[in-house]
Amino acid sequence: MSENATAAAVTSGTPARKKDRTHWLYIAVITAVVLGVAVGLIAPDFAKSLKPLGDGFVNLIKMMIAPVIFCTIVLGIGSIAKAATVGKVGGLALVYFLVMSTFALAIGLVVGNFVHPGTGLHLTPYKPAGASGTDGTVQFLMDIIPGSIPVLPVLFVALLVGFALQQMGPAAQPLIRGLTLVQGVVFRILTMIMWVAPIGAFGAIAAVVGSTGWAAVGAMFLLMAAFYVTCAVFILGILGTLLKVITGVSILKLMKYLGREYLLIFSTSSSETALPRLIAKMEHAGVSKPVVGVTVPTGYSFNLDGTAIYLTMASLFVANAMGIQMNLGEQIGLLVFMIIASKGAAGVTGAGLATLAAGLQAHRADLLGGMGVIVGIDKFMSEARALTNFTGNAVATLLIGKWVGEIDLDRVDRVLSGQDKFDESTMLAHGEVATHDGARSVEPAAEPTLEGAAADRLAGTGSSAR
């Protein structure tokens, strides 16, 4: 079901027609992790033999790194160019998004170095049959999966192509539309691969628990707990302070105002289901329509603070689990790569894993051997990522509205204090209008705008917070 349909169902008080299929994937991954832990503890020798299942899934992700990076970087640069042409709002928004994403990535590195998640697991990469005595059939199946393409050359070429398309101006539009279609195919394949995630997670978790016992369970819980705490500190401490100092608005009041959206996000593990409602609520709160129309959709692609924290903390978890120490220079290089690779990344299920795998391969290819464990616990961290991304975009809208003088702070105060309530009973999904008899109808198509283009891009690629 599309996010518009979901939002319409939630806001109108009627039950959704049908759960999105990704709910079943979420349940399947959780079940696979629990079974993997159980098998690892009960039959450790058998569990160790399941490692190729996790390695095979990681190889499938590796196979998609190059096309994912190429498409997202080229189209991401194009999106930046479009946003910048909007003027002061677009340019200011992009600068803010870049600064905050960099700050979030840096926080992830600091916390990861302080907590040292994954230490002591001693994970090892998959070894070929000739080196480890693995069954020849297993090696044959592993060899079917194509090898990955070096990431840094792909990134370099993507940057050149992206800037070249910018300079071509309107003449580049057919090429951009064609690449958008190619990106759709790439992410459709990635989505298909993610349906194998339960098998990969089962094999990876079972093998790790079979080798290390309860230590693996403790390490995974430590990463998840540290990630949740870091996201909470980022929201309440960093975003809350910025919001209070610049606008005088309390982050707690803003979060209370967005309470229904948080419930919707938590139930779907995706902030995109709340995109139409965030647009409506920010406009109701007193931010001008042009600011909301530029900031919110653009932020859903470029302002992913929760994802940024996840990328760096997960990278350090894998490095520690593999027993590989990354020096400060390597960590800074990884941070720079993640800043570039995560900009404009379409948010379908698995895009975060592909970006993480790309960063690891670009710096230490041997770290990819520990990705299997991340596959197993990735879903458990998706809610925190989604909630952090969503809150970051809500705060960004208020801040940018203040900076460009397009916000009514008196109205913001009335709305957040409950004096001017948001009418949930008449809340309509984005793109719908109410007719004279109370029925719902879809607005006729309007001229393309940045808001529409960004929303269409998001709708076509899936959940931005996954």
CB within 8 A of 322, min separation 6: which ones? 121, 122, 123, 124, 125, 366, 367, 369, 370
Q: Are strands 440-442 and 432-434 parallel, antiparallel or unpaired?
A: antiparallel
Q: Render each residue's pLDDT in the chain as its tens digit; 466 residues.
A: 444 444 444 444 444 444 556 667 778 878 888 898 899 888 888 888 888 888 788 788 778 777 877 887 787 676 666 665 566 777 888 889 889 988 888 898 888 888 887 776 666 665 554 444 456 777 777 777 776 667 778 878 888 888 888 788 788 888 888 888 888 888 788 778 878 888 888 888 888 888 777 877 888 888 889 999 999 999 999 999 999 999 999 999 999 999 888 887 776 666 776 777 888 889 888 888 888 887 887 787 778 888 888 888 888 888 888 777 777 777 888 777 777 766 655 445 556 677 787 777 777 777 776 777 777 777 778 778 888 989 999 999 999 999 988 888 999 899 888 888 876 654 543 344 443 333 333 333 333 333 343 444 334 334 444 4
| Spans of all domains in the chain | 46-196+214-423+450-461
pLDDT of 270: 65
pTM of the predicted protein model: 0.70
pLDDT of 449: 39
pLDDT of 394: 93
* Beta carbons within 10 angstroms of residue 40's beta carbon: 26
Average pLDDT over the chain reads 75
Domain 46-196+214-423+450-461 has CATH 1.10.3720.10: no
Q: Where are the beta strands (DSSP E) in 23-160?
A: none
pLDDT of 330: 78
CA dihedral 116, 118, 120, 125 (to 10 degrees): -130
Amino acid letter, residue 245: V
pLDDT of 242: 94
DSSP symbols for 341-389? HHTT----TTHHHHHHHHHHHHH-GGGGGGHHHHHHHHHHHHHHHHHHH
pLDDT of 235: 94
Q: Measured over all CA atoms, what is the biggest interatomic distance in the chain, rounded to whole angstroms?
A: 74
* Beta carbons within 10 angstroms of residue 217's beta carbon: 17
What are the angstrom distances between the C-alpha of 147 and each of 89, 246, 303, 371? Answer: 43, 50, 32, 16
CB within 8 A of 463, min separation 6: which ones? 22, 268, 269, 270, 271, 272, 273, 347, 348, 349, 386
Q: Are 356 and 273 in contact (CB under 8 A)?
A: no
pLDDT of 123: 67
For residues 199 and 450, give the distance between their C-alpha atoms in angstroms, rounded to a whole number: 40
Q: How far apart are the first and last CA of the chain?
A: 17
